[in-house]
Structure 1
Amino acid sequence: MHSHYLELRAISQIEITEVDVINQVMQSLHQILVNQQGNIAISFPCYNVHRTLGGVIRLFGTEQELQKLKADIQQKSSISDYALLMPITTVPATIKGYLHLSRVNPKGQSALRRAEKRLTAQGKWTPEVKNKMVEKWGSVHLQYPHLHLNSKSTGQKFILWLKQEKRPEPVQGTFNSYGLSQTATVPDF
């Protein structure tokens, strides 16, 4: 379980918004987390404040994992230009509960067109089906805060929509190179 945490706090910039600062920090942080063993988790303590992820990134792991991560972050000037690196701290004994942060893949117009073509061929496409799909898929992107990132492998820009849910019990698991997990939780405090 995660015994310690490390916070990155956005430094106010005259030229760019806090949202853009967090996007920049996460872009660089992702490149560092690729080299981790799936042990570093992430949360955003200010999640959904003004419908954003807020200006704080909280990273969880063991003290040794976070020491290595902190050293890697300190070598990457692009992060230190945009965020204050706080001291590694023990997770408080009293917490509110647990959080699960996951990626949401909203469907867009192209997915609707593909569904229409497929369901029309099956004879199942109706105006009611279309309305239900638009209602279900059209509102996802409005509900969740997100990051604007660039893929280093493909060069494409993409949006990483993040959904945070409260959980009553801790769940163990591994984390990807964005600090997210399909099942695992992090402490909420």
Structure 2
Amino acid sequence: MNHYIDLKLLPDPEFAATQLMSALFAKLHRGLHDLRRDDVGISFPAVKAGTLGLGDCLRLHGTAEALDKLMTLNWLTGMRDHVQVGTLNAVPAGTKYRTVSRVQVDSNPERARRRLIKRHGISEEEARQRIPGSAAKRCSDPYVIVRSNSTGQPFHLFIRHGPLLDAPRPGTFNGYGLSSTTTIPWF
């Protein structure tokens, strides 16, 4: 985890930065999946607290070899006009570390009721009593909108940047380049 590449979104009058970041994130997910990589992490260094967007920069973290392999795969097809790809750089000395993880929120009480009915064979009325309409959880973390490969439905993938740490924690990343335990350098 000693190198990084910045992918900076270019301004576009037709597409919002949030829409472009969602598209870039989806492309990266497919690239990581195709390569079966679990040693590339991501962060969003331009994220601002209190906003729902992740900013205009997606940073890839990994070894030089892992990032080279990812970048030789043609995963940026269709995004090259919208992204400025930075060069492979070494992580600066004396950096802090943090986790960048997915936050799963069940924000749809109707879906939760249907699941309850199906799994426990209860009536719709009983499901409404157990899960009232106000039970929807809200999340204030920034997110990207991705499409489920299994259902084709879009969903919000909430991303949380954890607290700053003095030392790295090694490990692996999921197919989105996220981990609740493995850290990335933060600078």
- Residue 154 in structure 1 maps to residue 148 in structure 2: no
Cα offset, 1:25, TM superposition: 0.7
Partner Cα distance (2:149, 2:111) in 1: 25
Contact 1:25 1:79 (C-alpha < 8 Å) held by counterparts:
yes
Contact 1:48 1:54 (C-alpha < 8 Å) held by counterparts:
yes
Q: Which runs of 5+ in 2 are unaligned?
A: 124-128
Cα offset, 1:114, TM superposition: 7.0
Q: In structure 1, the residue corresponding to 2:73 is in which secondary structure?
A: helix
Q: In structure 1, the residue corresponding to 2:67 is in which secondary structure?
A: helix
Other-structure match for 1:84: 84
The 5-angstrom pairing of residues 90-101 of structure 1 reads 90-95=90-95, 97-101=96-100
Q: In structure 1, the residue corresponding to 2:30 is in which secondary structure?
A: helix
The 5-angstrom pairing of residues 148-187 of structure 1 reads 148-168=145-165, 169-187=167-185
Q: Which runs of 5+ in 1 are unaligned?
A: 122-126
Moved more, 163-172 or 9-18: 163-172
User: Percent identity at matched positions?
Assistant: 29
Quickly say closer, same or farther: Cα 1:138–1:91, change in 2 above 3 A.
same
Partner Cα distance (2:178, 2:116) in 1: 32
Other-structure match for 2:30: 31
Partner Cα distance (1:68, 1:42) in 2: 15
Cα offset, 1:52, TM superposition: 1.2
Partner Cα distance (2:153, 2:113) in 1: 22
Partner Cα distance (1:32, 1:76) in 2: 8
For residues 88-131 of structure 1, what are the alpha-carbon distances to aligned partners after superposition, in whole Å with 9 as ceiling and x for unaligned? 00000021x2111111111221366479988x99xxxxx9x979
TM-score, structure 2 as length reference: 0.81
Other-structure match for 1:5: 4
Partner Cα distance (1:115, 1:182) in 2: 26
Other-structure match for 2:42: 42
Q: In structure 1, the residue corresponding to 2:179 is in which secondary structure?
A: coil
For residues 126-162 of structure 1, what are the alpha-carbon distances to aligned partners after superposition, in whole Å with 9 as ceiling and x for unaligned? x9x979x84xx5332xx10001111234322111111
Partner Cα distance (1:42, 1:88) in 2: 14
Other-structure match for 1:124: none
TM-score, structure 1 as length reference: 0.80
Partner Cα distance (1:167, 1:185) in 2: 10
Partner Cα distance (1:116, 1:37) in 2: 35
Q: What residue identity is the alignment partner of 2:147?
A: N
Contact 1:48 1:144 (C-alpha < 8 Å) held by counterparts:
no
Q: What residue identity is the alignment partner of 1:16?
A: F
Partner Cα distance (1:145, 1:160) in 2: 8
